[in-house]
Amino acid sequence: MPENDYNYAVFNLQAELGKFEEFENLPLHAGRRALDFPVEDLETGQTTQLKELWSAGLLIVEFGSYT
């Protein structure tokens, strides 16, 4: 998906509702291994790996935005 499509300027309700159906077919399920990605810490600007955060215990990850 191109960067501009991902960061849409106009919300499309039907397209986004479809994501909830697609979620059911996602290969990531309870019991499977989570995927690791680099992420930037807002406070420090440092890049860290998600796996470093779950290495020591249970990690709750909430995805979201201001809007």
Partner 1 sequence: MAARYAHRSVRSVFLYTREAHPGESFGHHTSMEDKRHNARAFRAEFDVKRQILLDDLKGTAHRAYGMLPNMSWIIGPGGMIHYKATWTDPVDIEDALKYALDAQQRRAKYKLLPYHSERLKWRVRDDDKFRTRLLKNGPQAVKDFYG
- Residue 63: CB minimum distance to partner 1, A: 5
Give the C-alpha distances (Å, rounded to integers) separating 56 from 10, 27, 33, 38. 40, 25, 16, 17
Per-position x/- string for 35-54, each x denoting binding to partner 1 as judged by CB under 8 A, each - no binding? xxxxxxxxx----x-xx-xx
Residue 14 interacting with partner 1 (CB under 8 A): no
Reference 49, options 61, 32, 36; nearest CA is 36
| Residue 23 in contact with partner 1, rule: CB under 8 A | yes
Question: Phi, psi (5° rounding) for residue 48?
Answer: -135, 165
**Which residues are near partner 1 by CB under 8 A?**
1, 3, 6-13, 16, 19-20, 22-23, 26, 28-43, 48, 50-51, 53-67
